C-alpha cells in the first residue's frame, strides 16, 4: 500500500541545530537551500572556486565553501550536483571528508542504485526526490504549497534515517503535498523510464513527429505548431484535474473518438519495454557515463539538433507574435 506522509505526521526536530550542506546551486540546489533556510534550518553551500553559481549563492545570503569544507562542516550532505558528476564529486570531495554518523541526501537514486558511488556503512543514506523542477519547488513553497516527493532509505546507521528524510522533505515543502515512501531501486528505474519514454523523450518525439508530418504534407509550420504543440498545456491540465477518462469527457466527441482509434497506432509499447530493459540492466547508466567521460560529443550534437529544429524556430516566432 502507498505510504504517504503529510505535514502533521512529520517533525523538523531531527534536523534542527544541524548544518545542512548543499553541494550544487543550480535550479534544484538553490530552491532547496532557500526553502530549508526559510523553514528554520541551518544551510551552507559547497561549490568549486570557479563555479559561476558562487556569486548567486552569496547574493542569496549563504556562506559558500569548497565542496570539501562543506562536507566537513555539514552533518547532512545534500548532493544536488548533476547526476553524471556524482562519482567525480564523491571521489574528489565527499568520501575522504565523511565521518561516522553523517547523512548523505540525494534527489535522485541514480548514482547510488547504479553504484557510481559506494558510501561507507557508518553513515545514513537517504532519498528526497521532488516531483518537479527547482523552479516549481520554490514557487509552490512561496505560495504555501508544495511539490510531492519520493523518500527512501538506503542505509540507516543512526536508526533515524527515515525521520531525517521526512524532516528534509518537510523543510523543502514537500509534506504539504505529500512525501511518498519508496525504494532507491524503484525511484532510480521509474524516474529514468518516465523521463525517457514518456514525459521528456517520448513526448518530445511525439510532438516533433506530429509537427513534421503536417509540415511535410504542406501545412505552414505555424499551423502545425498550433495544432500539435501549442494546446498541450490545456490537455495536461485536464488530465491532472480529471484523469485521462475525464479529459476525454471534456474534449469534443470527434476528438475523443479519433483518440480511441488512432492513439495506439503511434505508440510502440515493445520499444518502451526495450527502453525499460536498458535502464534496468544498467546499460543506459554505462552509456551515459561513457558519454560524459568522452567529452559529451553526441550529447552536444543532439542538443544542437533540437535547438536548430524548425519546431523550435516556429515556437520562437509565434511566441513573439502572440505575446
Specify the pLDDT at position 9: 87
- Same domain membership, residue 101 and residue 55: yes
Angle at 184 between CA 178 and CA 187, to 5 degrees: 60
**279 lies in some domain:** yes
Question: Average pLDDT of 97-120?
Answer: 95
- Please name which of 109, 200, 208, 127 lies closest in space to residue 164, comparing C-alpha atoms: 127
Residue 292 has pLDDT above 90, yes or no: yes
Residue 270 has pLDDT above 90, yes or no: yes
Mean pLDDT over each residue of the chain, to the nearest integer? 96
**145 lies in some domain:** yes
Q: Report percent pLDDT > 70 for the chain.
A: 100
**204 lies in some domain:** yes
Give me the residue label for grid cell 532519498.
127
- Same domain membership, residue 196 and residue 112: no
Query: Which tens digit of pLDDT belongs to each residue from 133-190?
Result: 999 999 999 999 999 999 999 999 999 999 999 999 999 999 999 999 999 999 999 9
Domain that holds residue 145: 4-182
86 given a catalytic annotation: no
Question: Average pLDDT of 214-237?
Answer: 96
- Same domain membership, residue 214 and residue 129: no
- Same domain membership, residue 171 and residue 203: no
Q: Report percent pLDDT > 90 for the chain.
A: 98
Question: Average pLDDT of 108-114?
Answer: 95
- Provide the number of structural domains found in the chain: 2
- Same domain membership, residue 146 and residue 35: yes
Long-range contacts of 81-88 (CB under 8 A, 24+ apart): 81/23, 81/24, 81/26, 81/29, 82/24, 82/26, 83/108, 83/110, 83/111, 84/288, 84/289, 84/292, 85/292, 86/110, 86/111, 86/116, 86/117, 87/111, 87/116, 87/117, 87/289
- 3-state helix/strand/coil string of the chain: CCCEECHHHCCHHHCCCCEEEEECCCHHHHHHHHHHHHCCCEEEEECCCCCCHHHHHHHCCCCEECHHHHHHHCCEEEECCCHHHHHHHHHHHHHHHCCCCCEEEECCCHHHHCCCCCCCCCCEEEEEEECCCHHHHHHHHHCCCCCCEEEEEEECCCCCHHHHHHHHHHHCCHHHHCEEECCHHHHHHHHHHHHHHHHCHHHHHHHHHHHHHHHHCCCCHHHHHHHHCCCHHHHHHHHHHHHHHHHHHHCCHHHHHHHHHHHHHHCCHHHHHHHHHHHHCCHHHHHHHHHHHCCCHHHHHHHHHHHHCHHHHHHHHHHHHHC
Specify the pLDDT at position 251: 95
Return the C-alpha cell found at 320: 513573439
Residues 6 or more apart whose Cβ sits within 8 Å of residue 112: 106, 119, 125, 127, 154, 184, 188
Q: Catalytic residue among 108, 131, 230, 309, which?
A: 108
Whole-angstrom Cα distance, residue 30 to residue 57? 8
CATH (domain of 53): 3.40.50.720
- Same domain membership, residue 166 and residue 204: no
Domain finish residue from 182, 210, 226: 182
- Same domain membership, residue 274 and residue 223: yes
- Same domain membership, residue 13 and residue 133: yes
Return the C-alpha cell found at 215: 509540415
**187 lies in some domain:** no
Domain finish residue from 153, 182, 211: 182
Domain finish residue from 118, 153, 182: 182
- Same domain membership, residue 223 and residue 301: yes
Whole-angstrom Cα distance, residue 233 to residue 221? 19
Question: Average pLDDT of 193-210?
Answer: 96
Question: Average pLDDT of 71-85?
Answer: 96
Query: Which tens digit of pLDDT belongs to each residue from 297-319?
Result: 999 999 999 999 999 999 999 99
- Same domain membership, residue 163 and residue 254: no
- 322 pLDDT band, cuts 50/70/90, is confident
DSSP β-ladder status, 103-106 and 42-46: unpaired
**245 lies in some domain:** yes
Taking the model in full, what pTM does it have? 0.91
Question: Average pLDDT of 258-268?
Answer: 94
**252 lies in some domain:** yes
- Same domain membership, residue 173 and residue 199: no
- Please name which of 51, 44, 49 lies closest in space to residue 78, comparing C-alpha atoms: 44
**109 lies in some domain:** yes
- Same domain membership, residue 154 and residue 30: yes
Query: Which tens digit of pLDDT belongs to each residue from 35-59?
Result: 999 999 999 999 999 999 999 999 9
Amino acid at each position: 500500500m502507498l505510504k504517504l506522509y503529510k505535514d502533521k505526521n512529520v517533525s523538523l526536530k531531527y534536523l534542527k541545530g544541524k548544518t545542512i550542506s548543499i553541494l550544487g546551486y543550480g535550479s534544484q540546489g538553490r530552491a532547496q537551500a532557500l526553502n530549508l533556510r526559510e523553514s528554520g534550518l541551518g544551510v551552507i553551500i559547497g561549490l568549486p572556486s570557479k563555479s559561476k553559481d558562487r556569486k548567486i549563492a552569496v547574493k542569496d545570503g549563504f556562506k559558500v565553501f569548497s565542496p570539501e569544507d562543506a562536507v566537513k562542516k555539514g552533518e547532512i550532505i545534500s548532493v544536488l550536483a548533476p547526476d553524471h558528476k556524482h562519482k567525480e564529486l564523491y571521489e574528489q570531495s565527499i568520501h575522504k571528508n565523511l565521518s561516522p554518523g553523517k547523512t548523505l541526501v540525494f534527489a535522485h537514486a541514480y548514482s547510488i542504485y547504479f553504484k557510481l558511488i559506494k558510501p561507507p556503512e557508518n553513515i545514513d543514506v537517504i532519498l528526497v526526490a521532488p516531483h518537479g523542477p527547482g523552479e516549481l519547488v520554490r514557487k509552490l513553497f512561496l505560495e504555501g504549497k508544495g511539490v510531492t516527493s519520493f523518500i527512501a532509505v538506503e542505509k540507516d546507521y543512526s536508526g533515524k534515517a527515515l525521520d531525517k528524510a521526512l524532516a528534509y522533505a518537510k523543510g523543502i515543502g514537500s509534506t504539504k503535498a505529500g512525501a511518498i515512501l519508496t525504494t532507491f531501486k524503484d525511484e532510480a528505474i521509474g524516474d529514468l523510464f518516465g523521463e525517457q519514454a514518456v514525459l521528456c523523450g517520448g513526448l518530445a518525439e511525439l510532438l516533433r513527429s506530429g509537427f513534421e508530418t503536417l509540415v511535410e504534407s504542406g501545412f505552414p509550420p505555424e499551423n502545425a505548431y498550433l495544432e500539435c504543440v501549442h494546446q498541450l498545456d490545456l490537455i495536461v491540465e485536464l488530465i491532472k484535474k480529471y484523469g485521462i477518462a475525464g479529459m476525454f469527457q471534456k474534449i469534443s466527441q470527434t476528438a475523443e473518438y479519433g483518440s480511441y482509434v488512432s492513439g495506439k497506432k503511434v505508440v510502440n509499447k515493445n520499444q518502451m519495454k526495450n527502453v525499460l530493459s536498458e535502464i534496468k540492466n544498467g546499460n543506459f547508466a554505462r552509456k551515459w557515463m561513457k558519454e560524459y567521460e568522452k567529452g559529451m560529443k553526441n550529447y552536444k550534437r543532439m542538443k544542437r539538433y533540437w535547438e536548430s529544429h524548425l519546431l523550435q524556430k516556429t515556437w520562437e516566432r509565434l511566441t513573439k507574435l502572440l505575446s
